[in-house]
Amino acid sequence: MAVIFDGNHGDVMWDTNVLRQRLVNDIVHTDLTGMGYMEIRLKSGFVLIPVPLILTRNILDLKRISLSKEMKPWRLYNNYDRPIARRIAETSGIERGRFAVRKKALVSVVRYPYNRCLRKRFRSYLKQQHGMGRLFVLYYRLANGMVYLVKRLLQSGLRIRFVNARSIVFSRQFDMPFIMSIWAVHLLKDSFVTLFQADYRPSQEGRSI
């Protein structure tokens, strides 16, 4: 069993510019952060530990700490202002200016399986479980693609911030990447169950081999 530490959700937990929608008496995930590990976690069996979530319970408390006068020496007052994380790094000996100047991310959101056979199985799942026909899925993908481009233009031109630039056009119940993630987990689970049952056959003496 292995343990992997990562920084998932740090942009919300430590940022002083947290959007108002996230400032609640709890820690709420509004995206699929960390979901890309699902398949390999099921296959290899490792534990994923997001460092920003260790011993944290309330994002409002963290926001008050970040904005306190005691944290001013570690404030940058820009779009990448995360004094708690910066204080941890700088007091550990890392000089300012050598890290965390701005956030750069390369994200690819998959809304539909690339594989032709998997696409066919996913379409059947959508029809049976959610009543979504092929035409609706096509319209959904095109509409969300247009909304994403418009939001990116507004973000770059007018500096308008969105909770999720790839948010759903209709409602949360049609969150296609999330639905596909759930479907993929069940599909992989069923495959593992089939393999396990094939390998675990009782012998004639009633013992497993």
Task: Tokens for 125, please give them.
Answer: 């799942």
Give CA–CA dist 3/67, Å, rounded.
32
Q: Which segments in the chain show pLDDT lower than 70?
A: 21, 28-32, 105-109, 157-173, 198-209
For the chain, where are the E strands, in sequence order?
Answer: 3-6, 47-50
Who's near 2: CB < 8 A, 6+ residues apart?
Answer: 44, 45, 46, 47
pLDDT score of 36:
73
pLDDT score of 83:
92
pLDDT in tens, 153-162: 777 766 666 5
